[in-house]
Structure 1
Amino acid sequence: MNRHYDVIVVGARVAGSALAYELSRAGHDVLLVDKSTFPSDILSTHNFYGNSLAMLKDMGVLDRLLQTGTPLYKRAVVQFEDAVIDGEFPEVDGETECFCIRRVHLDQILFEHASSQARVTSIEGFRVTDVLREKSVVTGIAGVRRDGEKEQFTAKLVVGADGRNSTLRDLVKSARIMSVPTDFASYVGYFSGYEQSGDIHAELYKIKDKIAIVFPTSDNLHVVGVMFPLENEEWSGRFALSPETALRDLIHTGFPGTPFPERLRKAVLEGKVRGLRGYDNDWYQGMGEGWALVGDAFSFKDPAVGQGMQDALYSARILTDVLTRYDDWEAHWAEMAATYQRLMEAKMLSRFHMACQFTKNAPFTAEQSAVNRLIAAHSEATRAFLGIYNHANEPQEFERLVGSLLAMNQS
């Protein structure tokens, strides 16, 4: 096995495998490592919108992902208090459909696809323990295999793609630029026998201080997530004592007047309810001398806005684009870092701010409720609202449309 590569990627799930693929196609020799072995599951919001389906198609992996039987869908039903926004996602990058593939399938397929590239060497079960440096520049990694064997590898660049609790990010001491803590605890379960009316679709509910999301997913299941305020000690205690009972009771009492409680009543939990109690919406410095970050290691956002999967793919593409602009990386670290940060901000920062608003336990104002009802009443506004999620349009474009509709209603 080689000991030196152009790039070492730490973390081989969505962002890491996508980056290894993109870099190999750009002519770089890549070492891809992960502390896990595949297949393995991980707690995640694993939905892909049309824009990310287009990227998966470009990578040549979409057909294999669809062979898992994960259903495609076009429709979303979003209920904000008494406003029900029901519509289809607009076309983007030639795609009109979405899908929500379970990570146990997704990560294995992406890892195998990346590992099959001629310029990619991959190691499962390798835990990074430190980075190597020459003066201030990161030059490689040190780590240990599951059998206890210690190894070191060097590279011109080391990339952290190892998630929101990134080890690589801590080792290189990336600066945290923005951080907004959530007000919510989140719990997730997979259910069989969850039946919707009409076309299969994604569901999102925000009723008072509780939020819920539902996606059709792989293996004839629906993934159900609920969020309630962290400060609510009663619900926290109930989830600690009996997660399934608490989840069902919270949905029954917290979402009256919606079809959600009855649909879940008839469904059967498959596996365990898992929770994420408190997290920060973070935005980090994405590159330094000899290192970079992609995916959740760069920026983690509230899972309720469902941006993690496509941001992982976008960051892999953006970093690859930056690297291909320069022949001599060592002479241009500062310039490359500034370019990478700027491009990531242009692509992802508006939705990071959207997640930071969503993550706070704040009731809708009277003005917001009026806007929600306006969106529900106008198909054009519904398409533009859903288009924020799949990058068919930017939040600013949606705001201009809503402003025009409000002005028309007032005239």
Structure 2
Amino acid sequence: MTDAAEVVVVGGGPAGASAAYYLAMAGHDVLVVEKATFPRDKICGDGLTPRAVAELIRMGVDTTGWARNTGLRTYGGGHCVEVPWPELASMPNYGLAAPRETFDDVLIEKAKEAGARLEEGVTVTGPIRHERTGRVIGVTAKAGPGREPREYRAPFIIDAGGVSARLATTVGRQKAMNRPMGVAYRTYFQSPQAEDSMMESHLELWEGKPGASDLMPGYGWIFAVGDGLVNVGLGSLSSNAQPSGLDYRAMFANWMANVPAEWGFTEENQVGKLRGAALPMAFNRKPHYADGLLLVGDAGGMVSPFNGEGIAYALQSGRMAADSIGQALARPTVSSMDAAVSEYPRMIRDELGGYYSLGRIFATLIERPEIMHLCVKYGLPRPTLMRFVMKLLSDCYDRTGGDWMDRTIAALAKAVPKA
């Protein structure tokens, strides 16, 4: 069986839903194929920075009832510093949080309301390529109770399949081993911490009592997601994609054994298992467009090396991909269509390339716990420095205009070679 559309999107997560929404809003026939069935859970991504919230506002997503946070509380070096989200022209001064099971379902429903078609339970097995040119003109798949073979064809295919990017990998777009890679593990707890309006970041993780034991690599976080739940997790950052060899479950157990009892992070209060995922960073898979196939979100390595944020860039890349495809579909020839879509990798690189390059430098510096300890010990007590660092790490700065901090970050991002 064969189905045809103007655009086929492989993956219905935030990047795929964003692309589908904007394409459908422009009147295009867009088909999303998703291997799971909504609602379905994903690991990490529950916390939304103001940059991600700005993208949700563009889409008109109803976030009523979602947990709202007002800033970041950071622990480290014996210090605790609270920094509110900055007042900016380009994004709101608050973040949000919602479990991915809820978040992804809301986004794909938004795309469907705009006119996008969705087929669930579809496992894409490979690309369909034009015999002469090699252009990707569709995908093969298995779907339905009997896993019948299917084909989906379109002038443009979007790989929104996440970190595995199986479609992109099949056509030869391998990840770059010299780009940063993060790993994150998280679970949920019923906890009094769910009443806190600040996201927490723990920049030092100790095997035992803080200051009296060995410092573990990585960082931790705690934030409310609603209904009395908090997302609690830890992650590590490496300047390359080689396996870290860390035992994250043991690290998490050591951390939980030493948190204050009043937080309620006990086995009885835990909701769901501890689960982990890789975070592909700094454009670790390219090209983002070639031969009819576009990469968006995690499939294109669009996770920040500074903080592991991927949702904002998934939504943004979906929007930009949709815009360039819309321009292309109005062109009369394949070559002119390709010229239009070639704007997409240039747009995303101009927007994020310099910032991600700064993140690669950051990753190289702080992947060693002893360097992180020195930065935390001498940096956290300085409020002005911490406000600057928070803007940099969270990508909460105005690209044009803004205060001296915004202008400094923007200048640094322009000065370095783009990722």
> If the length of structure 1 is used for normalisation, what is the TM-score?
0.80
Q: Distance in 2 between matches of 1:391 and 1:343?
A: 19
1:250 maps to 255
1:89 maps to 85
2:200 maps to 203
Contact 2:34/2:120 (CA < 8 Å) preserved in 1?
yes
User: Structure 1 residues 158, 71: CA separation in 2 closer, same or farther (over 3 Å shift)?
Assistant: same
1:104 maps to 101
Alignment of 1:2-401 (within 5 A): 3-61=3-61, 63=62, 65-66=63-64, 69-92=65-88, 93=90, 95-118=92-115, 120-134=116-130, 135=132, 136-147=134-145, 148-177=147-176, 179-180=178-179, 182=181, 186-195=184-193, 199-207=196-204, 208=215, 209-227=217-235, 235=247, 239=249, 247-253=252-258, 260-265=259-264, 268-276=269-277, 282-301=284-303, 305-326=307-328, 327-328=330-331, 330-332=334-336, 335-336=339-340, 338-353=342-357, 355-356=359-360, 357-358=362-363, 361-362=367-368, 363-364=370-371, 368-369=375-376, 372-373=379-380, 376-378=382-384, 381-388=385-392, 389-393=394-398, 397=405, 400=408
Contact 1:159/1:292 (CA < 8 Å) preserved in 2?
yes
Please give the secondary structure, in 1, of the residue aligned with 2:114: coil
The one-letter amino acid paired with 2:371 is F
Contact 1:131/1:172 (CA < 8 Å) preserved in 2?
yes
- Residue 398 of structure 1 deviates from its aligned partner by 5.7
Q: Which runs of 5+ in 1 are unaligned?
A: 254-259, 404-411
- Residue 274 of structure 1 deviates from its aligned partner by 1.4
- Residue 2 of structure 1 deviates from its aligned partner by 8.1
Q: Distance in 1 between matches of 2:304 and 2:171?
A: 24
Please give the secondary structure, in 1, of the residue aligned with 2:185: strand
Q: Distance in 2 between matches of 1:71 and 1:190?
A: 14
The one-letter amino acid paired with 1:99 is L
Identity %: 22
Q: Distance in 2 between matches of 1:225 and 1:366?
A: 19
Q: Distance in 2 between matches of 1:42 and 1:200?
A: 23
Contact 1:75/1:87 (CA < 8 Å) preserved in 2?
yes
1:407 maps to none
Q: Distance in 1 between matches of 2:51 and 2:137?
A: 35
1:409 maps to none
- Residue 125 of structure 1 deviates from its aligned partner by 0.5
Please give the secondary structure, in 2, of the residue aligned with 1:180: coil
- Residue 138 of structure 1 deviates from its aligned partner by 0.9
Q: Distance in 1 between matches of 2:347 and 2:386?
A: 28
- Residue 195 of structure 1 deviates from its aligned partner by 2.3
Q: Distance in 1 between matches of 2:183 and 2:3?
A: 43
Q: Distance in 2 between matches of 1:168 and 1:264?
A: 43
- Residue 84 of structure 1 deviates from its aligned partner by 3.5
Q: Distance in 2 between matches of 1:189 and 1:302?
A: 21
Q: Deviations over 1:242-279 (max 9, x none)?
A: x6xx63432445xxxxxx54454455211111134797
Contact 2:162/2:298 (CA < 8 Å) preserved in 1?
yes
User: Structure 1 residues 73, 223: CA separation in 2 closer, same or farther (over 3 Å shift)?
Assistant: same
Contact 1:286/1:337 (CA < 8 Å) preserved in 2?
no
Q: Distance in 1 between matches of 2:281 and 2:56?
A: 28
Contact 1:130/1:142 (CA < 8 Å) preserved in 2?
yes
User: Structure 1 residues 286, 279: CA separation in 2 closer, same or farther (over 3 Å shift)?
Assistant: closer
Please give the secondary structure, in 2, of the residue aligned with 1:51: helix
Q: Distance in 2 between matches of 1:228 and 1:177?
A: 18
- Residue 51 of structure 1 deviates from its aligned partner by 2.7
Q: Distance in 2 between matches of 1:204 and 1:274?
A: 19
2:414 maps to none
Please give the secondary structure, in 1, of the residue aligned with 2:224: strand
Q: Deviations over 1:165-220 (max 9, x none)?
A: 012211222254564354x75421101114279x5211111224331011211332
Q: Which runs of 5+ in 2 are unaligned?
A: 205-214, 238-242, 412-419
The one-letter amino acid paired with 1:10 is V
> If the length of structure 2 is used for normalisation, what is the TM-score?
0.79
CA RMSD across the alignment: 3.3
Q: Distance in 1 between matches of 2:245 and 2:119?
A: 43
- Give the 4+ runs in structure 1 shifted more than 4 A: 228-233, 277-281, 394-399
Please give the secondary structure, in 2, of the residue aligned with 1:131: strand
The one-letter amino acid paired with 1:113 is K
Please give the secondary structure, in 1, of the residue aligned with 2:179: strand
Contact 2:281/2:305 (CA < 8 Å) preserved in 1?
no
Q: Distance in 1 between matches of 2:95 and 2:388?
A: 16
User: Structure 1 residues 321, 177: CA separation in 2 closer, same or farther (over 3 Å shift)?
Assistant: farther
User: Structure 1 residues 323, 210: CA separation in 2 closer, same or farther (over 3 Å shift)?
Assistant: closer
- Residue 382 of structure 1 deviates from its aligned partner by 3.8
Q: Distance in 2 between matches of 1:366 and 1:214?
A: 20
